[in-house]
Structure 1
Amino acid sequence: TEPKVDEMNRKLFRYLNFYNFVRPHQGLGYKTPVEKFEEYIKKHQGVHHVLNENNFLTFEKSHLFFPKTNP
């Protein structure tokens, strides 16, 4: 049977979460993309307002926050 769209979306979300938050990347010095991005944010504090205005990525309490969106 074909997987349901909701199930596929959950699996894709889990993989993207793993890829960006858990899996270290050789090209990023064995850091996750989120760790590397947080380093960038800390070095470039002026980026804060840009991220908050796009309503997708926000930086709250030293952590990245991805608001729930409807696919």
Structure 2
Amino acid sequence: MIEGTEPKVDEMNRKLFRYLNFYNFVRPHQGLGYKTPVEKFEEYIKKLQGVHHVLNENKGLTN
């Protein structure tokens, strides 16, 4: 590496954060049905909440 051209850690961290933000919140993924990872995760959480609600309702039926 040429002297004085070493990347600054803060600058690299900012660039990495921006890319990860883009990758997870903005960029649609073909493997996720053209949704972002965050959109897919939110769908998963909603499904889990629905299952949790049903399980709690069924608790009263078995007691």
TM-score (norm 2): 0.70
Number of aligned residue pairs: 58
| TM-aligned CA distance change 1:4 to 1:52, over 3 Å | farther
Cα 1:53–1:6 shift into 2, 3 Å? farther
2:52 and 2:32 mapped to 1: Cα distance? 22
Unmatched 5+ stretches in structure 1: 59-71
Higher helix share: 2
Shift of 1:7: 0.5
What are the residue-to-residue correspondences of 1:1-71 with 2, within 5 Å?
A: 1-45=5-49
Scaled by the length of structure 1, what TM-score is found? 0.62
Name whichever structure is richer in strand by fraction. Answer: 1
